[in-house]
Structure 1
Amino acid sequence: MIFQIRDNERMIFEVISKAAAALGSPTYVVGGYVRDRLLARPSKDLDIVCVGSGIELAQRVGDSLHPRSRVTVYKRFGTAALKYRDLEIEFVGARKESYRSDSRKPTVESGTLADDQNRRDFTINALAISLNEHDYGTIIDPFNGLEDLEAKRIITPLEPGKTFSDDPLRMMRGVRFAAQLGFEIDPKTLRSIRDNSERLKIISWERIATELNKILLSPVPSVGLRLMFDTGLLNYVLPELAALHGVETRNGRKHKDNFYHTIKVVDNLAERSDKLWLRWAALLHDIGKAKTKRWEDVAGWTFHAHDAVGANMVPRIFRRLRLPNEQLKYVQKLVALHQRPISLTQEEITDSAVRRILFDAGEDIDDLMTLCQSDITSRNPVKVKTFRENYDFLRQRMAEIEAQDHLRNWQPPITGEYIMETFGIPPSRQVGLIKDAVREAILDGEIPNEFEAAKTRMLAAAEAMGLEPVGG
């Protein structure tokens, strides 16, 4: 089969082909770029494998391009990379690998194209396109990857137990491809993931988190999350989420399965937003329910304060997975606040309560409301309709009060510095108490969000503490 080379690919492929011929190094496009092009998916990463030195080939290609492209060399790995238009192109020499049981770092030797294809994770990623003159454009498919693409099947090129034992990260990659592409994992391959799931422990948390993020960003994240649960990978990566699984019945009353509820919420949110960290908030929003589940004779099953408990669990999860600290506070805040809007819809909505949620959520109020609306998973259409109408009304009230009081990203008109200057006092608990008094008065609607009114309340709060303005 001949690969259909597009016009925007032709020039760079020909430059690489000529450079490879000059070096006498048979050269091929291998892996994800081939797969994605055959699936009509966008791809900007081009992997070039040559039987020879990938670094030498990259340097010759870089010199041949106009304007000349700067080549980045990674001598330790024997690879090199350059950018061409919107493509990230990596060059590597064909190699074969062998592994020890206690490490995913292989012993690497130079090899043939066949050796390089043998070390690939899945048949759909072992496809290669020849850039050599005698068979230019020919697809080389030793493991029937084209058939697996057509069948939407994920299967390893070699015996799956060896593939996953050699590099356990491939198990996460298989789950990720199933979620991204809408493919099914071959039953034998799936059983092998289950049998080898504990091998994931030798993989760094950073690499695991990268794959998990890609699963969360897939069109239907629950596909990957369910596969992680079914294979046991989730027990290692996110045991707190796996702990939500199960339904318990007492006196004829049962609670919903909070694991399946959670992954449904993530799917609902994925339909509304492509923000990775908002999807993380959806994934962790009920993480505290396993710890807070209680049976009460009157109320039945309860999960009191699961929002607060879950928020306290977020930092530990972020540390374990080496997730970025700059996103921690955002996710933690949304987990902590996700019950607030729904509680407002179940009672008479006061201006004060709306002011407080606007103040506490700040610039993330829209994301919070998107999360809360995604949290509606009831199969009862009457309940769903009621929830949606209540949320729409709450959004309307928020918009009205925001327009009136300007509380989004709001800071009280009286600062700590102004308080200290007015009363001639150093940083102290008294400063905080006065600030709190002003803020609470504004949020309760007792005074308008204006400097003069805030100053009057400041003076009254200070007087109650026995403080007087300097020179007063």
Structure 2
Amino acid sequence: MDSAAAALDRLATIASSAPVARLAAAFEQAGHELALVGGPVRDAFLSRTALDLDLTTDARPDRILEIVTPISSARWDVGRAFGTIGALVAGEKVEITTYRSDAYEPESRKPEVRFGDTLEEDLVRRDFTVNAMALRVPGRVLVDPTGGIDDLLARRLRTPQTPETSFSDDPLRMLRAARFAAQLGFSVEEDTRAAMERLAERLEIVSAERVREELSRLVLSGTPRPGLELLVGTGIADRILPELPALRLTVDLEHRHKDVYEHSLTVLEQSIELERERGHEPDLVLRLAALLHDVGKPATRRFERGGAVTFHHHDVVGAKLVRKRLRALRYDNDTIARVAELVELHQRFFGYTEGVWTDSAVRRYVRDAGDQLERLHILTRADVTTRNRRKAERLASAYDDLERRIGELAEQEQLEAVRPDLDGERIMAILGIRPGPDVGRAYRFLLELRLDEGPLGEDEATRRLLDWWGTQLPAPGRDG
């Protein structure tokens, strides 16, 4: 964290920027207050680049819209019910929100919006003190009624009011505590953490969609482990993602199996590192798959003679559990399918180290991964967390070899688009049949040939198809 003087210089730069300066002048002329609030102010003290321009005012939403219309090139009011108006000012997106406080009624799943009249009142009702600072504009007066600067210096998350009041007003703030702990590297103040444990059940009134969005932001942060550990440690994960704490298998000194929970967090961390090394943006599908790839282990754990521990078919069981949990969190169908597919595929590679795969096996690996092959590469490499250096090097070398062979076959055969040598139209023409189940059976036969032997060419594929057709029993509805 830089000095207060340096932070104030950065805030002054933001306040003098074209969009903020224009808004400040317009609101002052209209007789209303305006202040930069929350993230931009906090990030100025942390030497972080503010991604959003958030402002707050005593003006009500309709009045905000009247004031910003003459100085903006576009406006949106999808948040009007919550007091927020968005606009494009001097080429930048801004959001201006009426002073407010959100509160849940005991049985409500949505916050009740209450507009306020003073900046100080608005700040006191925010989630954490480090987000409860504002810079009045155009006067550039810093307002910090709850000790946010002190908490920034201490790298501490604390609620402006009592944690019970804050978390009862909006239980989602408990999830935000985990996200900010991850994003900012801050610790949660002891009373605040204790309240998270006591009030975890309060999250049950929050909609699954809001929980999902907060969880996704946490998983997509630079270092999600501290936030996830906070959720597990406070019992919150038991209510929103119970499969994660369930991975904390009982330590058994006799059988000496590894801690699957710690392993999963490490796989997530290593996936993020590989994601960056390979030049990818943060990938929610990959990260959810990394975090949840072993959730089938508790249900499939078996102790064998001689002390071995097995988890047979945990990949298949895990994929089913992932689909169920992500549906409950209201993730979209594509995300659910892709995460579950990666979970089901994550063990495929480990047979590669037991013997050299045939070209057919390599083709099937690529075919099954489809457009998720790069994700599967990262997940599989990240899944190696052994402390045995020789074993880790052997597995890394084996996967290097697999990727090399995939590259060679892809160059030779356009592997990423494996299809039979004959399409459905040609199959029907060659066999003299109409659309129906027989076309699908013939297509699958040719696809298996393609995977086993590589490209055959049209003439050879036709000969093999006719030979196969002659061995087939008539399908129902087809004359023999």
Same fold (TM over 0.5): yes
| Residue matched to 1:342 | 350
State whether structure 2 residue 273 is matched by structure 1 residue 268. no
| Residue matched to 1:144 | 147
Match of 2:465 among 453, 458, 462: 458
Aligned positions, number: 461
Match of 2:312 among 295, 298, 304: 304
| Residue matched to 2:73 | 69
User: Shift of the alpha carbon at 1:328?
Assistant: 2.6
| Contact 2:15 2:140 survives alignment (8 Å) | no
Map 1:53-68 to 2 at 5 A. Answer: 53-63=60-70, 65=71, 68=72
| Residue matched to 1:213 | 216
User: Shift of the alpha carbon at 1:337?
Assistant: 1.1
Measure the CA separation in 1 of the matches of 2:432 and 2:142. Answer: 80
| Residue matched to 2:86 | 81
Moved more, 304-313 or 117-126: 304-313
State whether structure 2 residue 34 is matched by structure 1 residue 27. yes
State whether structure 2 residue 385 is matched by structure 1 residue 381. no
Match of 1:108 among 97, 109, 114: 114
Match of 2:123 among 83, 98, 117: 117
Moved more, 48-57 or 365-374: 48-57
| Contact 2:84 2:96 survives alignment (8 Å) | yes
User: Shift of the alpha carbon at 1:193?
Assistant: 0.8
Superposed CA offset, 1:152-203 (max 9, x none): 1111111011111110000000100010111111111111111111111111
| Contact 1:47 1:89 survives alignment (8 Å) | yes
Measure the CA separation in 2 of the matches of 1:100 and 1:78. Answer: 19
| Residue matched to 2:132 | 126
| Residue matched to 2:250 | 247
* 1:327/1:107 CA distance change after superposition, 3 Å: closer
| Contact 1:29 1:46 survives alignment (8 Å) | yes
Query: What amino acid sits opposite 2:463 in the alignment?
Result: T
Match of 2:450 among 420, 442, 448: 442
Query: What amino acid sits opposite 2:265 in the alignment?
Result: I
Measure the CA separation in 2 of the matches of 1:383 and 1:406. Answer: 33
| Residue matched to 2:335 | 327
Map 1:149-168 to 2 at 5 A. Answer: 149-168=152-171
User: Shift of the alpha carbon at 1:9?
Assistant: 4.3
User: Shift of the alpha carbon at 1:219?
Assistant: 1.3
User: Shift of the alpha carbon at 1:28?
Assistant: 1.2
* 1:450/1:9 CA distance change after superposition, 3 Å: farther
* 1:254/1:428 CA distance change after superposition, 3 Å: farther
Moved more, 370-379 or 428-437: 428-437
| Residue matched to 2:206 | 203
Query: What amino acid sits opposite 2:237 in the alignment?
Result: L
State whether structure 2 residue 379 is matched by structure 1 residue 371. yes
Measure the CA separation in 1 of the matches of 2:14 and 2:322. Answer: 48
Moved more, 41-50 or 236-245: 41-50
Measure the CA separation in 1 of the matches of 2:412 and 2:394. Answer: 27
State whether structure 2 residue 364 is matched by structure 1 residue 356. yes
User: Shift of the alpha carbon at 1:47?
Assistant: 1.9
Moved more, 382-391 or 94-103: 94-103
Superposed CA offset, 1:192-237 (max 9, x none): 1111111111111111111111111111221111111111111111
| Contact 2:130 2:152 survives alignment (8 Å) | yes
User: Shift of the alpha carbon at 1:453?
Assistant: 2.4
User: Shift of the alpha carbon at 1:333?
Assistant: 1.9
User: Shift of the alpha carbon at 1:54?
Assistant: 4.3
Question: Secondary structure of the residue that 1:194 maps to in structure 2?
Answer: helix
Measure the CA separation in 2 of the matches of 1:98 and 1:359. Answer: 51
Measure the CA separation in 2 of the matches of 1:6 and 1:158. Answer: 31
Match of 1:402 among 404, 410, 413: 410
Query: What amino acid sits opposite 2:81 in the alignment?
Result: R
* 1:398/1:8 CA distance change after superposition, 3 Å: farther
| Residue matched to 1:178 | 181
Gaps of 5+ in 1: 468-472
User: Shift of the alpha carbon at 1:298?
Assistant: 4.6
Question: Secondary structure of the residue that 1:254 maps to in structure 2?
Answer: coil
* 1:242/1:58 CA distance change after superposition, 3 Å: same
Question: Secondary structure of the residue that 2:418 maps to in structure 1?
Answer: coil
Measure the CA separation in 1 of the matches of 2:103 and 2:333. Answer: 36
* 1:452/1:363 CA distance change after superposition, 3 Å: farther
| Contact 1:96 1:119 survives alignment (8 Å) | yes
Query: What amino acid sits opposite 1:25 in the alignment?
Result: H
Moved more, 88-97 or 120-129: 88-97
The TM-score with structure 1 as length reference comes to 0.91
Measure the CA separation in 1 of the matches of 2:296 and 2:51. Answer: 40
* 1:427/1:304 CA distance change after superposition, 3 Å: farther
Measure the CA separation in 1 of the matches of 2:15 and 2:405. Answer: 52
| Contact 1:55 1:78 survives alignment (8 Å) | no
Query: What amino acid sits opposite 1:92 in the alignment?
Result: T
Measure the CA separation in 1 of the matches of 2:188 and 2:451. Answer: 54
| Residue matched to 1:188 | 191
| Contact 2:431 2:466 survives alignment (8 Å) | no
